[in-house]
Structure 1
Amino acid sequence: MTTMAATAPLPFEQHQPPMGLRERKKLKTRIAIRKATYRLIADQGYDATTVEQIAAAAEVSPSTVFRYFPTKEDIVLTDEYDPVMEAVLRTRPADEPPLESLRIILTGAVAAILENEPEEMQLRTRLMLEVPALRARMTETMADTSQLLARPIADRAGREPDDLEVRVFTAAVMAALREALILWGERGQQDDLVALVDRTLDMLEGGLRL
């Protein structure tokens, strides 16, 4: 059952970890590289866009691009929300069901991305459907996010992060999110993505009803 709390976007900016000058400069560089990449891809396509072009557009060196993003796929797929989601998850009530906690975290993150970076989100999702390397890398990055979110879930349950049940639970939630994103893209991004994610987690909670 969907709750009212799950439909209200969380104030993610309140949970950004404090940053010194060095961290702010790094974040500014990461964002500049990503935005330059999105502009170039929108103009000339993914395959035609090179790291050298991205570096020139972001006014950094190619080595700097690779220092922040190991691959071109990572530039497209990486955002700043994973550590924030972990931080928000740790603030949820200890007696809240884990799936409800993740529902609130994920719908809040999706709502925040759509509000703050709508064009980037649309382009990213379209590219995930069109570029096999991006779709494969998406699966890997979501596995990383699953491991990150497993830590606070495990702490709350008094288990280890590599506990089988914890790993299966967080992996299943992230796999469900992946399918919701893919379906959203396949349908021309016309659906309400937050509602689609909410519905996806409803199904995960209640099972497939025939």
Structure 2
Amino acid sequence: MYIRNYTSKNIYIADLDVVNPYFRSREHSSYLEEKNIKVIGSYLPQSGADIPAVSAEVYSIFDKKDVIGIIDMGGNSAGSLSFASFRNNADVNETDVFFVFNANRKENSTFELALGYLIDIESVLGLKVTGIINNTHLMDDTSFDDIEKGEIIADKLSKEKNIPIKFTCINNKFYHNNSKIFTKYDLFIMDYDIKNKI
């Protein structure tokens, strides 16, 4: 939705996340398409089933130069492996790979674990991560300590891999309750717009 506010180009989202039960863009395709955002998902667009096969329509993201393409791989090996068949179609010079992590998840709870996860994703994708995004939270129970924990890990990852930190994410509700919050990196305030619409 953020990108939609800054471009009139067509936006395609390819949802390769076959694991995450909390949010799947393909399950909100009707709302997103109202905003002129096309969602490409599994072969069964009405199904909530975890099907690792995705539509060949994903190729259109790489074939059409007049669109902005976003590929959600869900931050796990299943999503990364799903991307493998499209890897050779990606123009490396025009592709950003963001490592979005939540330090409150077991696999990213320490610098060492997060670094291993990042390296594994790069290995499976055959692409280098170009930006780090700290998305550490506990939904409505998020605290300053959570955000700081994420920034510490992000800082170490950045220095170890020489990858820039794009920003720290916080949700809109937390920000409005703590508008004087200071973070080391730029803030990206997330509005759970889709969740409020359904």
What is the TM-score normalised by the length of structure 2? 0.29
Max radius of gyration: which structure?
Answer: 1
Which fold has the larger relative contact order, with Cα–Cα distance below 8 Å and residues 6 or more apart in sequence?
1
| More strand by percentage | 2
| More helix by percentage | 1
What is the TM-score normalised by the length of structure 1? 0.28
